[in-house]
A and B are shown apart, each in its own frame.
Chain A
Amino acid sequence: MTATALPVSHNDDGPRRIRTLPHPTDRIFRGVSRGVGALVLVLTGAIGLFLAVQLIPVVHHYGFKYFTTQEWDVEGNRVGVAAAIFGSVEVALVALMVAFPLALTTALFITEYAPRRLKPLFVSMVDLMAAVPSIVYGLWGFYILQGQGLNVARWLAEWFSFIPLFKVDSDPHSAPFLKPQFTESAFIAGLVVAMMVIPLACAVMRGVFDQAPAGEREAALALGSTRWGVIQAVVLPFGRGGIIGGTMLGLGRALGETVAVLITLSQIDKINPHVLQNGGVTVSSLIADHFGDANRGVQLEALLAAGFVLFAMTLFVNTIAGIIVTRSRSGATTEI
């Protein structure tokens, strides 16, 4: 049989429009899911907008000094978020310095070294850390961790006080119980916040490490690799995005932590670059501290504006983290 060409009409040579009539159930499902998706965006946008609007009367009243003033002196009409922004970043960075190595090694242990049968147990234990209410962490930090953390702080101050960051305005050689300067510092608050960051960062890293391609793992093992070799050659290069992203998500969490910081950091409205030394303030602890006695009007608006600053910082960090995590998962595997 010979193939016969269909008659071609040359008049209507052009791209045709392809459309399918959707089934009613498809249409309903699509509508509902789009609606829910849009709702999330609208809610986040509305919160951001609501907070941003509060900036207008605040800047009108206090001027742009609002962003550079350290004090929160409502009566003296000197109100600003500079100390709080600094404190938030300070506490969050301390928390990350502690949480990052612990989360990374925990995630590696769970994915690479833990006996298979014990793996679910370890996973749920780390997840349980995320379920502990932050007020409990705060109390634990204040009554239990602080007593031990003081010794570390004192040691750091003693040996590293040549670094301005670790300087404490007191004599480090007297007994710890005479040293109220070491208590309720950004360092102690950071340690407590680290406990809350670890499970979040660890979960993200573990998720990515688990996805490290089996083919490359086997390739490494078949070359006589040790488990550490597999981690170096396969797991860490593949999981780099997850490590960075998980850490930054943790940073977002640390920036917003309130109750535990309120308990473990004594509130002073002043930029305190000495992490080991008593006193500091974060944006969220500032709001929690002053919300109760704020007048309706510009005082309340000033607190909400501080909330906007925190919202913007967290949104920024989380967005970057999200971009890094999604980007790394695609493209890190071998494709022929």
Chain B
Amino acid sequence: MTEDATALLYDTPDYPQLVFDRGAHLDAVNISAWFGTNKVLQRVNLSMPPSVVTALIGPSGCGKSTFLRILNRMHERVPSARLGGEVRLNGEDIYAPDKRITDTRRRIGMVFQKPNPFPTMSIAENVVAGLKLNGTKVARDTRAELIEHSLQRAGLWLEVKDRLDTPGGSLSGGQQQRLCIARSLAVSPDVLLMDEPCSALDPASTRRIEQTILDLKDEVTIVIVTHNMQQAARVSQQCAFFLAETGTPGGIVEAGPTDQIFGSPRDPRTADYVLGRFG
């Protein structure tokens, strides 16, 4: 698809009204979180600028995933979950009363640890599922273009272009995960959150997805949670190290450019973690 075709696509009145502005600025301001009375995050501040892949690293149970789920309002799905602070998308608080939750989640997409395509839908239907789900009508020829474009951006097009009508569940794990990425991209989000997207995948699929992340970084703002230090070093330009010391809520120990976090960390705990001395 040419650049013009893309512009055309996003200019259709039926398409979610959204400027394709090459990513957005996401800011977490003073984020605290609780499950019941148990505080799991304490006053986390992090700025996630466009064209930068932000990696969230840290040992299990330090609140990385909770933080990520707060960024697109999935946190409040847990009955006892509460939070404090603000998440600003291009300066506007997504938790403000006038913000629609469905709208926010469409603009801030999420890819999960376990690939979760809709098993009863074909590959093509999976890609455009998001539009159907939030009630956007797509014309037939726009639909075909959108499917191709999204699958290309997710790096899956060449592998599936001849079998778009087969079930999404028939793909391999890595392909399913890229299908999930394509599905998220099809609703043209500003931000893409990824919660350990490669932890269920083999090394070859992992490499493929990392390539996809690097290809996408100038189009959407990407935030990725990973347990894999090498992965964080390979895909991210900015890194935040989360830690929860026993009995205390989690928080960011150190955040900064990835080179600095891995090369010359200021906090000794960060150095211990990135060098594999614990966690």
A interface, CB within 8 angstroms of B: 116, 213, 215-216, 218-226, 229-230, 232-234, 237-238, 332-336
The answer to whether residues A223 and B74 also contact, given A333-B119, A336-B176 and a CB cut-off of 8 A, is: no
- B12 beta carbon closer than 8 Å to chain A: no
A215 touches B116 (CB 8 A): yes
B interface, CB within 8 angstroms of A: 72, 74, 77, 79, 102-107, 109-110, 112, 114-121, 129-130, 132-135, 169, 173, 176, 180, 183-184, 187, 200
Return chain B residues, CB-CB under 8 Å to A223. Answer: 105-106, 109, 129-130, 133-134, 183-184, 187
Measured in the bound complex, the distance between the Cα atoms of B121 and A222 in whole Å is 17
B77 touches A334 (CB 8 A): no
* Nearest CB in chain A to that of B193: its residue: A222
Return chain A residues, CB-CB under 8 Å to B110. Answer: 218, 222
The answer to whether residues A222 and B118 also contact, given A116-B79, A229-B134, A233-B129 and a CB cut-off of 8 A, is: no
- Of the residues A219, A222, A234, A336, contact of B200 by C-beta under 8 Å: A336
Measured in the bound complex, the distance between the Cα atoms of B107 and A334 in whole Å is 26
In the complex, how many angstroms separate the beta carbon of A232 from the nearest chain B beta carbon? 8
Measured in the bound complex, the distance between the Cα atoms of B197 and A222 in whole Å is 15
A225 touches B130 (CB 8 A): yes
Return chain A residues, CB-CB under 8 Å to B74. Answer: 218, 221-222
B133 touches A224 (CB 8 A): yes
The answer to whether residues A221 and B120 also contact, given A226-B134, A226-B135, A334-B169 and a CB cut-off of 8 A, is: no
The answer to whether residues A224 and B112 also contact, given A219-B118, A333-B119, A336-B173 and a CB cut-off of 8 A, is: no
* Nearest CB in chain B to that of A333: its residue: B119
The answer to whether residues A229 and B79 also contact, given A218-B74, A218-B116, A223-B109 and a CB cut-off of 8 A, is: no
Measured in the bound complex, the distance between the Cα atoms of B191 and A222 in whole Å is 12
Measured in the bound complex, the distance between the Cα atoms of B200 and A216 in whole Å is 16
A224 touches B105 (CB 8 A): yes
* Nearest CB in chain A to that of B171: its residue: A336
A221 touches B105 (CB 8 A): yes
In the complex, how many angstroms separate the beta carbon of B265 from the nearest chain A beta carbon? 32
B102 touches A225 (CB 8 A): yes
- Of the residues B102, B115, B117, B176, contact of A224 by C-beta under 8 Å: B102
In the complex, how many angstroms separate the beta carbon of B185 from the nearest chain A beta carbon? 11
In the complex, how many angstroms separate the beta carbon of A240 from the nearest chain B beta carbon? 9
In the complex, how many angstroms separate the beta carbon of B142 from the nearest chain A beta carbon? 18
* Nearest CB in chain B to that of A213: its residue: B116
A336 touches B114 (CB 8 A): yes
Seed contacts A116-B79, A216-B118, A222-B72; 19 additional CB < 8 Å A-B pairs = A213-B116, A215-B116, A218-B110, A219-B183, A220-B118, A221-B105, A223-B187, A224-B104, A224-B133, A224-B134, A225-B130, A229-B132, A232-B133, A233-B121, A234-B118, A238-B120, A332-B120, A334-B117, A336-B114
